[in-house]
Amino acid sequence: MRLQELFLRLVPQECVGSLWSKQDRKCHERACPTVRATVAQFSLVAKAVVSSCLGDTGLRAAQRARLLEKWIRVAEECFCLQNFSSLYAIISALQSTPLHRLKRTWEKTSRDSLRCYEELSAVCSEEDNYSQSRRLLFQVTSLDKTPAVIAKVLKKHNQERSQAPQYKLVQLLSEGQELAFPPTTNVFYAMNSSCQDFMLRAKQGKPAPVAPPPPPRTPTPKGVEISATFPKIKATGRKIAKALF
């Protein structure tokens, strides 16, 4: 949650020109505070990995190996959660000189953990200007853009994903305000973290058809109506639970 808040506060302009890394002048000391905050969090995670493995000088190689295995599992979980910042921090720490030189410790690390570590290291590789990472991030962010999110919501309601262009995604904010997501937006980066209420709204001039109800297996009692699998989305929209995402 802490990391999510930091990224939501990031100001894109502060990432330009590497101003955040210039510390030689007093005028740059307070520059790019949002970027510096994410860098500080990255360093905090990396230091935690190193200190947990080396803090106790009385540990044996086998005991340190268990700690390495634990951090590799944490890194794997970060990968599954698309928490790439923490993933990079953990892998960077494991590749740092203080831990990399622990030859006997790595020899006692399980094969499964070593194999997982090698795969995650490949994801974080600097080779070809981080081409592997950039390719992965592109795939992930494409899945989180507005049309893909709308399609996933429709699928959960047994509707055709092809109907996604007929809707727009809106986040309901306080005091009756709304935040509409353009098609090229990554929803999970653009959303307002203070509110978790969303709405699918049919675009004006494009009424959204409702899928016909499936034929009943048994005769329908007289006077009982058959409802569609997904209630019709009215002009005012339909509220979406956070779990649908």
Q: SS3 breakdown of the chain: % helix, strand, coil, rounded to 5?
A: 55, 10, 35
Highest-scoring range by mean pLDDT, 25-29, 104-108, 219-223: 104-108
Domain count along the chain: 2
- Of the CA atoms within 13 Å of residue 151, those in its CB half-sphere come to 11
Q: Is the pLDDT of residue 159 over 90?
A: no
- What is the value of pTM for the model shown? 0.55
Residue 175, classed as helix, strand or coil, is helix
Domain annotation covers residue 126: yes
Examine the domain organization and report whether 111 and 189 are in the same domain.
no
Mean pLDDT of the chain: 75
Distance set, CA 179 to CA 10, 163, 169, 222 (Å): 18, 21, 9, 44
Q: Which domain holds residue 158?
A: 146-213+226-244
Examine the domain organization and report whether 124 and 237 are in the same domain.
no
Examine the domain organization and report whether 76 and 189 are in the same domain.
no
Cβ contacts of residue 151 below 8 Å, gap of 6+?
Answer: 161, 164
Examine the domain organization and report whether 124 and 57 are in the same domain.
yes
Cβ contacts of residue 192 below 8 Å, gap of 6+?
Answer: 171, 173, 179
Examine the domain organization and report whether 67 and 42 are in the same domain.
yes
Examine the domain organization and report whether 11 and 127 are in the same domain.
yes
Instruction: Tell me how far apart the alpha carbons of residues 24 and 9 are, in angstroms, rounded to a whole number.
Output: 25
**Beta pairing partners, 226:** none
Residue 171, classed as helix, strand or coil, is strand
Instruction: Tell me the per-residue pLDDT of 59-101, one tens digit each, with 9 for 90 and over.
Output: 999 999 999 999 999 999 988 777 888 999 999 999 999 999 9
Domain annotation covers residue 141: no
CATH number where 204 lies: 3.10.20
Distance set, CA 117 to CA 94, 121, 127, 164 (Å): 9, 6, 17, 39
Examine the domain organization and report whether 50 and 78 are in the same domain.
yes
